Amino acid sequence: MRKLISQPYTTQQPHSSQHRSDVVGLSLQHESAEKQVSGEALFVDDYPEPQGCLHGALITSTIAKGTIKHLDLSEVQQSPGVIRVITYHDIPGHNEIGTIHKGDPLLCQHEIRYFCQPIAFVIAESHQLACQAAQKALIDYEETSEPVISYQQASQQAHLLPPHQMGVYQGQTFLANPINSVNIGAAYQGQTLLKPATDTVNISGTLAIGGQEHFYLEGQISLAELTEDGGIFIRSSTQHPTEVQNLIAEVLNIPFNHVTVDMRRMGGGFGGKETQAAAWACLASLGAKLTHKAVKFRLPRAIDMSTTGKRHPFFNRYELTTTDDGEILAANIEVNGLCGHSADLSDAIVDRAMFHADNAYFLGQACILGNRLKTDTVSHTAFRGFGGPQGMLVIEKAMQDLAITLQQDPLDLRLKNLYRSGKSVTPYGMEVEQTAELYDVLTRLETSCDYRQRRQEIHTWNQHHPVLKKGLALTPVKFGISFTATHLNQAGALIHIYTDGTVQVSHGGTEMGQGLHTKIQQIVAQTFGIPTDWILVTSTRTDKVPNTSPTAASSGADLNGMAAHNAAITLKERLLDFAVNHNECLSSQSTPEIKDGILYLDTAEIEWATLIQQAYLNRVSLSATGYYSTPKIGYDRSQACGRPFFYFAIGASCSEVMIDTLTGEMTVEQVDILHDVGSSLNPAIDIGQIEGGYIQGLGWLTTEELVWNDRGHLVSHSPMNYKIPSICDYPKQMNIELYDVPNPEHSIYRSKAVGEPPFMHAISTWCAIYDAVAAISEHQFIPDLDTPATGERILMACQQQYQWLTQHAQSTMVDHEADSEG
């Protein structure tokens, strides 16, 4: 969006260097940074193509809902350079690639379920020839009915996904049809919610929340080669190599061990390559199997955006009962996820939205209901936050509305309702243990960003500026860390030490720019006591570390870092035992130690490389695997109660914005973030994740709007009409600080995950926009502002404020005249 006022942008990122010689905790450069700026870093499309490599392109549907009456591919097959055209008939194994629930065919058979659904796969001598040929398909459709796109359509037609397997309780809820919905809170907090009393305040509201395109810089791509044993070796841009491996094997009807997936780095993922990368890898592998040639398949940007899933749009409702001073006594919250044509990961995504509908607040007697609505669009999928942001946003809107209703500062209400001692149990029965730290984060940021004085200054400023209005908001974040599917909370690693002393590490996590390999390198170096330069973290491969979980849920460093640490501990203990037994000079009071690549053995000093050579000559194994599974977690979905998360990452952000009430333009004046990463593994990388997460969240809530027309076609399918934040949208002043308090749980070096939680700091910016709009009526009238808060939506919300002012003035005048006549 265009800036209202042009001025230089400034950023401050203070953080502690921790003043220690440890490798962990240092702000080391990203391990691929130099390669990436020099162009030496290899992504899938950069690897040399094998001789005779073929290329693939999709034939996709041009309708959103209907059936295929006739499919004519003769002109496609006769096109220049075309080697083969593949349909579902050619698949030797499964055509179904749904990972949890069925409903995701690799290639359409007869029924069209969404616009741009893959129907056939063209293999040609070049990418251009394949794409040109794909345009020649002649397809005759029968459109059965109008596609279901919106929440209003989906809810009216009761077009829901199959029933969830969590228990359904009979506490007070919004929907009368609990069969296809899930309700948490009633089991733990009692079956009957608090009934309104005469001295309580009752408010309610709704919020439509838009989806979001992942917009990774590297699109979906795979390069598959046939191996001599009839298997597949594939380079795939994926967050989940094991799932890609398994699905390829099932599609080709071969054993899992005949498929090897290699993934060195992605050019971004954000959840869009967790399940969504598998289809393209399967098609490339199918092409390689059928043609006996290597096949590269990459999606053009417009096709990528049209045929892959997005962040789930939601439509949420809330009802709060509070005391007259704003303490929440009871809450009814309903979250409705628009899931697309199939389930994909929607069960877990809506679950996480429900888990985070409380954000950082004790809701008293709470009932949280989640629905998964089916629409005739692409199947929506994982995206940074995984439903958590959509759940959090509704309670933050409720806080803003409650502040207007009670004429209180929103921050006072937030502080009043934070989890605290005696009121620290979530609606699903998990204890929030860091309540003191949660309060400390908010109050520390309140002081450091000078919230109270700025609130007064903005109030005065707004009184003197009828057109431009400023808004301010300070909001907390409490985000649960772990996969809510408990079995995914495990990881493996493999470490080799070579006889020159260098170390090679393989682990199950994938690098998508977030610095995971760099942190693993630091962890292993710290554990061994050697420099990071001696350690190489290799590409993620399914033949080195099998049965991996996706790199998602902010768990990459937590899981894989601990697995690598455990492997290094095994090797280090083995080496120290050898050193003690091999060298008789150690006294009984001495403890051997490796530091900076030197083994200190009583009075002796042995270089690392020498120790390794000695160990090899004495037949000591220099390889080890490591394994880790997250402790303490366990969640009973049938009872909607338990501990789904190992710990919570917490933080707070304060945003100041300015809007033009006549045009809807908005600028972010200042953002202050205080975020908890525990004992940071790498402060520079963590701050980068916080900054990037905030900006991506800012795009979700302000500029990025997904638009489907009434025929179910995605209109916003390119950078021309889908706008991620640009440099002009960056806050004029941005201050980021790490809350440097060790994780009380036994995580890797007492750190905390940092991938997803910072995304939700952008909620403070949306709340600040909300506050600025409400300033038109001097915070007397609750705004109607859905997300994303584009210029158009801000303008419409402003107009509603002006209309209320007019009606209020007229009503006041009528009342005054009536009083005069009386």
Evaluate whether residue 274 is within a structural domain. Answer: yes
Residue 524 has pLDDT above 50, yes or no: yes
Evaluate whether residue 794 is within a structural domain. Answer: no
Q: What percent of the chain has pLDDT over 90?
A: 86
Q: What is the mean pLDDT of the chain?
A: 92
Question: Span 399-413, mean pLDDT?
Answer: 99
Cα separation, 446 vs 450, whole angstroms: 6
- Which pLDDT tens digit goes with each residue over 16-38? 544 445 899 999 999 999 999 99
Q: What is the DSSP letter of 746?
A: -
184-193, 316-325, 403-412: least confidently modelled range? 184-193
Residue 432 burial (CB count, 10 A): 22
Instruction: For residue 381, give the nearest of 277, 303, 304, 275 by alpha carbon.
Output: 275
Residues in the chain: 822
Residue 189 has pLDDT above 50, yes or no: no
| Catalytically active residues, by annotation | 756
Cα separation, 437 vs 690, whole angstroms: 19
Q: Per DSSP, what are the bridge partners of residue 121?
A: 58, 86
The one-letter amino acid code at 189 reads: Q
Pairing label, strands 259-263, 232-236: parallel
Instruction: Find tokens 């705004």 and name the residue.
Output: 783
Cα separation, 337 vs 609, whole angstroms: 56
- Annotate 197-224 with b (16+ C-beta within 10 A) or e (fewer): eeebbebebebbbbbbbbbbebbbbbbb
Contact between 82 and 122 under an 8 Å Cβ cutoff? The reply is yes
Evaluate whether residue 54 is within a structural domain. Answer: yes
Q: Helices in 6-81 by DSSP H: which ranges? A: 33-38, 74-77
Cα separation, 286 vs 282, whole angstroms: 6
Question: Span 812-818, mean pLDDT?
Answer: 67
Evaluate whether residue 608 is within a structural domain. Answer: yes
Question: Span 336-343, mean pLDDT?
Answer: 94
177-191, 472-486, 579-593, 627-641: least confidently modelled range? 177-191
Residue 350 has pLDDT above 90, yes or no: yes
The one-letter amino acid code at 604 reads: A
Question: What integer pLDDT is reported at residue 159 of this predicted model?
Answer: 46
- Here the tokens at position 606 are 């042995």
Cα separation, 394 vs 397, whole angstroms: 5
- Here the tokens at position 227 are 């191996």
The whole-model pTM stands at 0.94
Question: What integer pLDDT is reported at residue 1 of this predicted model?
Answer: 40
Question: Span 664-678, mean pLDDT?
Answer: 98
Question: What integer pLDDT is reported at residue 363 of this predicted model?
Answer: 96
Among 575, 596, 629, identify where a domain stops: 629
Helix, strand, or coil (residue 407): coil
Residues 6+ apart with CB under 8 A from 245: 256, 259, 260, 261, 542
Cα separation, 115 vs 714, whole angstroms: 8
Instruction: For residue 523, give the nearest of 626, 448, 599, 423 by alpha carbon.
Output: 626
Residue 175 has pLDDT above 60, yes or no: no
pLDDT range class, residue 199, cuts 50, 70, 90:
confident
- Here the tokens at position 687 are 């701050």
Contact between 635 and 484 under an 8 Å Cβ cutoff? The reply is yes
Question: What integer pLDDT is reported at residue 187 of this predicted model?
Answer: 38
Residue 717 has pLDDT above 50, yes or no: yes
598-612, 675-689, 776-790: least confidently modelled range? 598-612
- Here the tokens at position 35 are 């390669």
Question: What integer pLDDT is reported at residue 808 of this predicted model?
Answer: 86
Q: Helices in 174-317 by DSSP H: which ranges? A: 186-189, 241-252, 278-291, 301-307
Evaluate whether residue 359 is within a structural domain. Answer: no
Residue 178 has pLDDT above 70, yes or no: no
Contact between 352 and 391 under an 8 Å Cβ cutoff? The reply is yes
Number of domains composing the chain: 2
Phi, psi of 273 (to 5 degrees): -120, 25
Question: What integer pLDDT is reported at residue 574 of this predicted model?
Answer: 98
Contact between 92 and 252 under an 8 Å Cβ cutoff? The reply is yes
Among 600, 629, 658, identify where a domain stops: 629
Question: What integer pLDDT is reported at residue 589 of this predicted model?
Answer: 64
Among 257, 282, 307, identify where a domain stops: 307
pLDDT range class, residue 607, cuts 50, 70, 90:
very high
Contact between 569 and 528 under an 8 Å Cβ cutoff? The reply is no
Evaluate whether residue 94 is within a structural domain. Answer: yes
Cα separation, 656 vs 438, whole angstroms: 22
Question: What integer pLDDT is reported at residue 179 of this predicted model?
Answer: 31
Question: Span 210-238, mean pLDDT?
Answer: 98
Residue 100 has pLDDT above 90, yes or no: no
Residue 814 has pLDDT above 80, yes or no: no
Evaluate whether residue 783 is within a structural domain. Answer: no
Residues 6+ apart with CB under 8 A from 167: 187, 637, 638, 639, 640
**Full domain range(s) for residue 581:** 490-629
Question: Span 635-658, mean pLDDT?
Answer: 94
Residue 569 has pLDDT above 90, yes or no: yes
Question: What integer pLDDT is reported at residue 583 of this predicted model?
Answer: 78
Question: What integer pLDDT is reported at residue 16 of this predicted model?
Answer: 52
CATH assignment at residue 545: 3.30.365.10
Contact between 126 and 366 under an 8 Å Cβ cutoff? The reply is no
Question: Span 497-523, mean pLDDT?
Answer: 98
- Which pLDDT tens digit goes with each residue over 41-99? 999 999 999 999 999 999 999 999 999 999 999 999 999 999 999 999 999 999 999 98
> How many Cα atoms within 13 Å fall on the side-chain side of residue 99?
23
Question: What integer pLDDT is reported at residue 812 of this predicted model?
Answer: 72
- Which pLDDT tens digit goes with each residue over 3-19? 444 455 566 666 554 44
Contact between 326 and 413 under an 8 Å Cβ cutoff? The reply is yes
Question: What integer pLDDT is reported at residue 815 of this predicted model?
Answer: 66
Q: Per DSSP, what are the bridge partners of residue 234?
A: 224, 261
Evaluate whether residue 623 is within a structural domain. Answer: yes
Read out DSSP for 420-461?
BTTB-B-TTS-B---HHHHHHHHHHHHHHTTHHHHHHHHHHH
289-298, 584-593, 608-617: least confidently modelled range? 584-593
Pairing label, strands 641-643, 647-660: unpaired
Residue 619 has pLDDT above 80, yes or no: yes
pLDDT range class, residue 603, cuts 50, 70, 90:
confident
How open is the CA angle 816-818-819, to the nearest 5 degrees? 65
Which helix (H) or strand (E) is 314 found in, with range? strand 314-323
Question: What integer pLDDT is reported at residue 602 of this predicted model?
Answer: 82
Contact between 765 and 671 under an 8 Å Cβ cutoff? The reply is yes
Q: What percent of the chain has pLDDT over 70?
A: 91
